[in-house]
Amino acid sequence: MSASTSLTTCLSPAVYNMVCLRGFEVQTSVEIINLLDKYNRVSWSPICEKVSYLSSGEGLDYAESVRKLGPLCDSVHQHFMSLPDEKYETAFHDWFQWTNNCKLFLSALSALKSRDGSKISLQLMKMTSCLERSLGDVYLIIGKDCPFLLRDLLASQELAKIFSQSVMNVLRIFLGSPQSLNLRNILWHGFVSPNEIPPKYCSMLLLLTAGLGQLLQSWLTNFGMSIVYRPYFVFNNMQELPVFPDLNENVLSKAESLIEKSRFVLAHMRPFWNEAIAAFRQGRYADCAIFLLPQLETGLRLAFTTVNGCPDRMLTAESTSLYTTFDEILAKHLNDGSHNRLPGSLGEPAMEFLWDILNHQEGPRVRDHLSHGEILLCEFPKQFASELLGFSIMLIRKHLEQDSFDKKDLVVLYPLIDAAESYQSRFHPIALVQRQVLQCRESLQKWDLLPNPSLEYPSETKELQDNVDPAFCSDIEKILSHLHLQANTCFIKDCSSWLQADKWFVSIKKLCRKSISNLYCPRLVLEAVGVLRKISTLCHQVSDNIVSTSQLRYEQWKNKTLRSRQRLNYQRLLCSIRSLSPVLRLIITIVIVNLHNIHSISKKNHLEYQKYLKYLKSIQQYIENMSTCTSPEKNRWDETIQMTSRIILKIKIFNETNKVE
């Protein structure tokens, strides 16, 4: 029997006892009037009195606190379930305003009344992430550098000053510590099934959130201060992400049938998967992603524990050790230093996709941003939900038992399969250099379209007929011959014809599209890639400077608004362009050839590496100076030619004195 059918919970015995049983041990009745007065103001004293502390006096006794708070949670839950929707909204609307997402907390009542574990879990995930974000905004009223971890935020002196330490201790019972109920983490990391978290804890969080709003309002009034909400995260470079074709109804229906058969899906987690697909159909794209991300982690955890032979790591860890999360699942090595076998099992394209959406700093890092409440849910892009669901369907399909399906049944998934298997990273630093080189290429292509007065006014621009310095072409050809060997490609067959821009544009595009392995790059490789990226970015800036300045000066030339000195400067610009064009193309070629050879760095000794890095940084310094000299404020064109001569010599010497790897 597979783990997906035999495993009935991912909660370890101690955590299961804390979450599912501990809060039901005391069966006393608590009147709601003791917790909520007739004006719907929260009475904190009877709640805080239930918090227990360790006999040593150091720290909270989480288990005993949950046991004592259980009856209060029952009372609050019964009260909310008895309230008509309109009365609930009227009573608590104002007290949820501080969260900057009042609608989310008001909608919680309908989820509770549905008695649907999946919907209540979804509501809790959204509430805990929003609450974390809001508490961070409150922290910043008097503090600096908001803590990244929720447990550190809840333990901060800044929040204790505003809400009181006893109130913060109540929150710590529900959130933020592996020893507590830890609702946020066990939900967002995919450890709990739809019906494992008692709904009364959702009701209690609603009450606590309203109570925090009341305390905050009083504090802000007393101190004459206000709360400033941080801006939400915005998905950038979404045009770079599309991988999968549109998910039509045939694909979604097929996915629903595969959920029942795949080893990737735990049996008790299937409702979450079905809700994710339903949310996508209904256009609730943030909900779709929130359902999927924890289940993607659970499925990958199952695959991780299977291939690495550590089934015990499927469960929540006890408080003395860490949970098995994406960080461990996607790592190169296990905690004991042995090789993680999951990357080999999933394949490089799948690993690159996971790193792109979850880890790379300039990628969407969607799980981090969603779980920390940094995304405006109503504006979550359909495109991203589609990519996430498409990839998840591929993992479900990959983990089907061979005899559980007819290959003909999977024809509808073939476009998704092809897209997944050909995926290349979009957000790894290496991929970012490739993208930047292509953007620079587009800018350089504009040079051929720049207006030239020498063609329109030959009688006025005789001095513009000078040829490019022959030494430039000769030195560039020598450098190119070395690059040809390094590139291990035929794209620089004829160095003299390479100087023709049109051929270069075609060749460099092909070279940028070639795949470069990027999983688990060593620090030295990433350091060198960082320099290459700076060079390509600055080349783009230089190119844009020249394009914009040239266009401006031409208009001024036509309109006869250039002073005599400006006319001479414009002439120097036009002369410089003929030299700078092949040089910039050469440097971009150096960037992309070095990028393709980047893993050869591991063969260099320390001295060789430092020499190589110094060489790259000398090119970076040249381009930085060029960016300054070509800026609209400077326009120092004679200086650009002098600098260019020096850097060409440096590049030639380095290539001649260093062996090709």
> Which stretch of 54-68, 132-146, 158-172, 186-200 has the lowest confidence by average pLDDT?
54-68
Q: By percentage, how much of the chain surpasses pLDDT 70?
A: 92
- Residue 469: pLDDT band with limits 50, 70, 90: low
For residues 563 and 205, which has the higher predicted lDDT (pLDDT)?
Answer: 205
Q: What is the pLDDT of residue 482?
A: 74
> Is the Cβ–Cβ distance between 539 and 623 less than 8 Å?
yes
> Which stretch of 157-166, 195-204, 289-298, 455-464 has the lowest confidence by average pLDDT?
455-464
> Is the Cβ–Cβ distance between 169 and 60 less than 8 Å?
yes
Q: What is the pLDDT of residue 464?
A: 47
Q: Using the predicted structure, report yes or no on whether residue 367 has a pLDDT greater than 80.
A: yes
* Mean of pLDDT values over 343-360: 95
> Which stretch of 110-119, 285-294, 345-354, 648-657 has the lowest confidence by average pLDDT?
648-657
For residues 477 and 598, which has the higher predicted lDDT (pLDDT)?
Answer: 598
d(CA 480, CA 588) in angstroms, rounded, equals 12
Q: What is the pLDDT of residue 476?
A: 80
Instruction: Compute the mean pLDDT over every residue in the chain, rounded to the nearest whole number.
Output: 90
Q: Using the predicted structure, report yes or no on whether residue 490 has a pLDDT greater than 50.
A: no
- Residue 468: pLDDT band with limits 50, 70, 90: low
For residues 57 and 532, which has the higher predicted lDDT (pLDDT)?
Answer: 532
Q: What is the pLDDT of residue 636?
A: 85
Q: Where are the alpha helices (DSSP H) in 83-231?
A: 85-92, 102-106, 108-114, 117-142, 150-154, 157-163, 165-174, 183-188, 199-223
From the CB of residue 143, how many other CB atoms can be counted at a distance below 10 Å? 17
d(CA 621, CA 616) in angstroms, rounded, equals 9
Q: What is the pLDDT of residue 86?
A: 95
* Mean of pLDDT values over 142-152: 93
Q: Using the predicted structure, report yes or no on whether residue 466 has a pLDDT greater than 50.
A: no
* Mean of pLDDT values over 485-509: 65
Q: What is the pLDDT of residue 1?
A: 36
Q: What is the pLDDT of residue 470?
A: 63
Q: What is the pLDDT of residue 481?
A: 75
Burial class (CB in 10 A: 0-12, 13-18, 19+), 94: middle
d(CA 134, CA 126) in angstroms, rounded, equals 12
Q: Torsion angle, CA of 93/95/99/104, rounded to 10 degrees?
A: -30
> Which stretch of 136-140, 252-256, 492-496 has the lowest confidence by average pLDDT?
492-496
> Is the Cβ–Cβ distance between 168 and 130 less than 8 Å?
no
- Residue 147: pLDDT band with limits 50, 70, 90: very high
Q: What is the pLDDT of residue 286?
A: 97
d(CA 573, CA 453) in angstroms, rounded, equals 12
- Gyration radius of the chain's alpha carbons: 31
* Paired strand residues for 333: 339
Q: What is the pLDDT of residue 564?
A: 81
d(CA 242, CA 543) in angstroms, rounded, equals 29
* Mean of pLDDT values over 322-331: 89
For residues 163 and 409, which has the higher predicted lDDT (pLDDT)?
Answer: 163
Tokens of 535: 């060079």
Interacting residues of 130 by C-beta distance below 8 A, sequence separation 6+: 99, 100, 101, 104, 105, 373
Interacting residues of 368 by C-beta distance below 8 A, sequence separation 6+: 358, 374
What does DSSP assign to residue 267? G
d(CA 372, CA 131) in angstroms, rounded, equals 9
d(CA 518, CA 232) in angstroms, rounded, equals 30
> Which stretch of 206-210, 235-239, 242-246, 610-614 has the lowest confidence by average pLDDT?
235-239
d(CA 278, CA 370) in angstroms, rounded, equals 19
Residue 184 CA: distances (Å) to CA of 90, 174, 188, 205, 389: 28, 8, 6, 11, 23
Q: Using the predicted structure, report yes or no on whether residue 106 has a pLDDT greater than 90.
A: yes
Q: Using the predicted structure, report yes or no on whether residue 494 has a pLDDT greater than 60.
A: no
> Is the Cβ–Cβ distance between 128 and 187 less than 8 Å?
yes
Q: Using the predicted structure, report yes or no on whether residue 465 has a pLDDT greater than 50.
A: no
> Is the Cβ–Cβ distance between 430 and 526 less than 8 Å?
no
* Mean of pLDDT values over 524-536: 97
94-103 tens-digit pLDDT: 999 999 999 9
* Paired strand residues for 31: none
- Residue 661: pLDDT band with limits 50, 70, 90: very low
Q: What is the domain partition of the chain in residue ranges?
A: 10-223, 238-421, 436-657
Residue type, 636: R
* Paired strand residues for 53: 60
* Mean of pLDDT values over 52-63: 90
Q: Kindly report each contact of residues 247-253 with a partner whose C-beta sits within 8 Å and lies 24 or more positions away, as own/partner.
A: 247/280, 247/386, 247/389, 247/390, 247/393, 250/412, 251/393, 251/412, 251/413, 251/416, 252/277, 252/280, 252/281
554-587 tens-digit pLDDT: 888 888 888 888 888 888 888 888 788 888 999 9
> Is the Cβ–Cβ distance between 388 and 294 less than 8 Å?
no
